[in-house]
Amino acid sequence: MRSTSRALRVLAVGTTLALALTACGGDDGGDDATEASTDAAATDEATDAATTEAATEASEAMTEGGGDGMIAVLLPDSASSSRWETDDRPGFEAAFADLGLSEDQYQILNAEGDATNQQNQAEQAITNGANVLVMTNLDSGSGATIIDNAKAQGVSVIDYDRLTLDGDADYYVSFDNEAVGRLQGETLVECVDAQVEAETPAVAVLNGSPTDNNATLFKNGYDGVINPLFEDGTWTEVDDQSVPDWDNQEALVIFEQMLTAADGNIDAVLAANDGLANAAVQALLSRDQAGIPITGQDATVEGLQNIALGYQCMTVYKAITQETQAAAELAVALMNGEQPEAEATVDNGSKEVPSVLLEPTAVTVDNIMDTVVADGFRSVEEICTGDVAETDFCQENA
């Protein structure tokens, strides 16, 4: 497995990030692109002379959006993490609206964990006129098939959030995923040092799906932190297992088996995301053992509630609105026939993919207000419901 090139330059986070993607198309400058889109809109109006005011509005929106064509966003599921429907979908909708696209210039589809369904969605989107796909693959094999089919039909593809190994995507937009893992490992060390009294803490590891390249990168990151502690005897490794398809129910079964095999002696858990973390929390609650350090990722409402309750020590905040904005701006440029330059590349095993990489942030109970709440990503009202409202965090920030 090849990971992010050490020579890459990570682009700055924020609204300036997308501006670092500089259009390069020879003679196809911004004015020419605007003229081309206006001509295309005018041609469409002439062709559809009998259309109503709705057609005129669509033509004007096309001109404002900057080009002809359509963008299809292919999301993976809604079970592995709530982020895809609660964060990414509205993030793309807002980004496309900000960029002047009308609703008929893009569509957002969710494969619900079915790779064949995702392939069918991609093909149907292309049939319907999509000339750009923004894809979060379910696995690299099916993702590469979608990319090959799209490229054969002249359709550009952006790997979104997950890299397609040995694929031929035009661009990759994600976070520095090894950095995500390092934050998980480093913060777990801090939590164990602060909370665990055992001389040699017993630590279990719940990895993400073995078919998800991101899970491999997360593991590369946190293994670099925690493996030396296992090797020198500072910590004891209870078990290290991957969870197929990030299935939270399967994670519950796996962790319950870990607990049973260890006679309940687990002092901390490196869990790769909030869903897996919550599976561990539920297993521990059933044994009245909740409250040990557990990591997470995605800054979901559930994960933040577990942090407020003291059941989880951290999560990783990935500013998804920045990720969707960067991917949307890149997709619109491609829809317009431009070829942006990126300041980073990532080796997918067969090519260096031009990339936009964002920096993640570790979140604990001490900085929830300064990170996810301050950014408007989550609100105190979302987090402080039910029993969580009685926690110190909610009482102090109500």
In angstroms, the CA 341 to CA 96 distance is 20
pLDDT at 181 (0 to 100): 98
The confidence score (pLDDT) of residue 5 equals: 35
pLDDT tens digits, residue range 68-107? 799 999 999 999 888 999 999 999 999 999 999 999 999 9
Listed residue (134, 130, 127) closest to 105, CA to CA: 130
pLDDT over 90 (residue 52): no
Mean pLDDT value of segment 132-155: 98
Predicted local confidence at residue 393, as pLDDT: 98
**pLDDT class of 343 with cuts at 50, 70, 90:** confident
Residues of the chain with pLDDT > 70: what percent?
83
Confidence tier at 63 by pLDDT (50, 70, 90): very low
| Cα–Cα distance measured from residue 280 to residue 311, given in angstroms and rounded to the nearest whole number | 9
Measure the CA–CA gap between 217 and 215, rounded to whole angstroms: 5
- Express each pLDDT in 254-279 by its tens digit: 999 999 999 999 999 999 999 999 99
Span 140-144, average pLDDT:
97
Domains of the chain with bracketed CATH: 15-169+319-359 (3.40.50.2300), 177-317+366-397 (3.40.50.2300)
Taking residues 324-349, what's their average pLDDT? 95
Name which residue leads in pLDDT, 158 or 3. Answer: 158
